[in-house]
Amino acid sequence: MKASYFKYILHFKQASGTSRGILTDKETWFIILEKEGKRGIGECGILRGLSADDRPDYKEKLLWACQNIHLGEQKLWEELIEFPSIQFGIEMAFLSLKSENPFVLFPSDFTKNSKSIPINGLVWMGDEAFMKAQIEDKIAQGFSCIKMKIGAIDFDKEMELLRFIRDNFDEKTIEIRVDANGAFDKNEALDKINQISGFKLHSIEQPIKKNNTDMMSVLCKNTKIPIALDEELIGVFSKAEKEKLLQKIKPQYIVLKPSFIGGFRGTLEWISIAEKLNIGWWITSALESNVGLNAIAQFTFLQNNLMPQGLGTGSLYTNNFDCPLTVSNGELWYDKNKDWNFSL
């Protein structure tokens, strides 16, 4: 078996804002396996400044993984424990190599185009007019769940945007999730959560920065809005550490990004712990190309979680790869009439 890797830069159609800054480009890496005329493709979806494996030796570790591909998927996964995005890329590439179609990793009613996955419509940060236009656009596209990133503009203006949605749509018509990406000051977070609780939100993701576990525990105990941990899960590698974290904080939900938490195996481990503790969960992409998004979507469908998932990022880039994934009326479909155009 031969293994190689390539870097690829994805370009956003328009600058996308988060509380950590403006994104214009997104770096990703592909691992290609070749054996007996077949090819397997995996994506290592690193996000600089956020991923646990954003380290100076990242490329060196990719090279090591390719040079030691003979060790096999299980041994490599164990050796790459501190490099979750490479774990995911290796895992995906081996599945791709074994599959009849290198892009159909988990055959199901989803890949047969007979069933879909409900997803949320993502509203990026920006000025009030830009965010309002996005909200109107997502609702017009048929989304019944809106996820709004908050924490970058004036809080009162964000309150007005939430009021705008609720003045026109009740919580049974439009579900609202907000994602603070850790933007709230830990001493003001509970007050801000209480202020927006009147808008009947589904949840708020990561209200304060990670590693403030004492305060996050207090917030989860006293909140009027269910809290979902997101960034808090990054860099937590062992099962014992995962259990300790969730038992201490006791969040209402966790948000699972396979590229950040060790691929499908890491995701399933978090799910098993969360369900044992009666903690809800959903899965979301982490700005991967359509290659990674496709793998995550197929895996997500098999988990039978009926909540809207965070898988609507395929149309963000000017140079993404054409693929069968299609969004219609707030649902993700796998259109078998559309072909892949993957070339590096």
- Please state whether 309 falls in left (phi above 0), alpha (psi between -120 and 50) or beta: beta
Distance, in Å, from the CA atom of 124 to the CA atom of 314, rounded to the nearest integer, reads 14
Which among 36, 8, 96, 10 has a CA at the least distance from the CA of 313?
10
Q: Within the chain, what is the greatest distance between any pair of CA atoms?
A: 61
Complete DSSP assignment for 206-246: --B-TT-HHHHHHHHHH-SS-EEESGGGTT--SHHHHHHHH
Distance, in Å, from the CA atom of 87 to the CA atom of 267, rounded to the nearest integer, reads 12
Both tokens assigned to 330: 């707030």
**Does the annotation count 257 as an active-site position?**
yes
Catalytic residue among 26, 138, 149, 242: 149
Catalytic residue among 26, 147, 192, 257: 257
Give the 3-state secondary structure of residue 324.
coil
- 134: Cβ contacts below 8 Å, ≥ 6 apart: 123, 124, 126
Which among 202, 200, 194 has a CA at the least distance from the CA of 226?
202
Both tokens assigned to 92: 């995906």
| Residue indicated by tokens 């890491």 | 266
Could you give the residue numbers annotated as active site? 149, 257
